[in-house]
Structure 1
Amino acid sequence: MTSIRSSIRSRITCLPGRRGSPTTSAVPATPASPAIEGALELVAVVSDAQRRNWREARRCLEQLALPLARNAGEGNVQWTVFGPTNVALHAMSIEMLAGEATEGLRVADQVDALAERLQLADGPLRAVGPYAVDVRQG
């Protein structure tokens, strides 16, 4: 049976502008491509975490999803809510699921700092895609 990761990997390869993509010549890469690819990477990361493959989940977050998030920036391209904050939230979740509460809290502090730097909210709560992010001070 094909693993989720290889299935997602094949879908990513078929995104416009990717080398080896059958549509490369017909459909150019768009500014949305990194966000879509990154969102698919996060699905694969969650799959790794559900199988308790923490090392692979962390590796893919750091080496694949994070560079795509930096490239895509914060946004909601095709309702992906993909960007550096979403990747950081996934990193926090992975650490907590892996039983690494201290590391999870350290990552959570980085999410808070990122949210403040991006000025995600005018008030104490802000809807970010399907999430409600509490950005209160203290």
Structure 2
Amino acid sequence: METEGVETPVVAVEEPIIKPLDLPTAVQRLLKSAIYAGKLYRGLREAAKLMDRGEASLVILAEDCDEPSYVKLVEALCKQRQVPLLHIEEKKDLGEWSGLCQFDKEGNARNVVGCSCVGIKEVGTDAEAYQFISDHMRKAAQ
């Protein structure tokens, strides 16, 4: 049986919209990847030990850190060991992104603990986010 004159409807398939990366999103993705890989070190003590061993690939420091001596120590260690240092505005955001919180049923962060410094030993699986952050830091240095 032929179906002449009958048009078959064409269904348009929507392609997923890929948002361009911005710095907070890239940092979130990078930290999540490092958490899953077990290569994220939270807090000044752990990050300083990581840098002393020469194993840090990136250090993230919160700009609203309460203790100026912490900031000086982290910046000096990064400079001495030639580790890239990225500044984030708020330590509450850094604490949430590094997993120092609890999540409710809706997925909202609760009881967020601020974190002034984190060190990343290895990037993990999200190389795109690391590349974006590296390019951002390179442009900021120029």
TM range (shorter): under 0.3
- The structure that has the greater radius of gyration is 2
**TM-score relative to the length of structure 1:** 0.26
**TM-score relative to the length of structure 2:** 0.25
Give the structure with the larger strand fraction: 2
Q: Which has the higher contact order (CA 8 A, sep 6+)?
A: 2
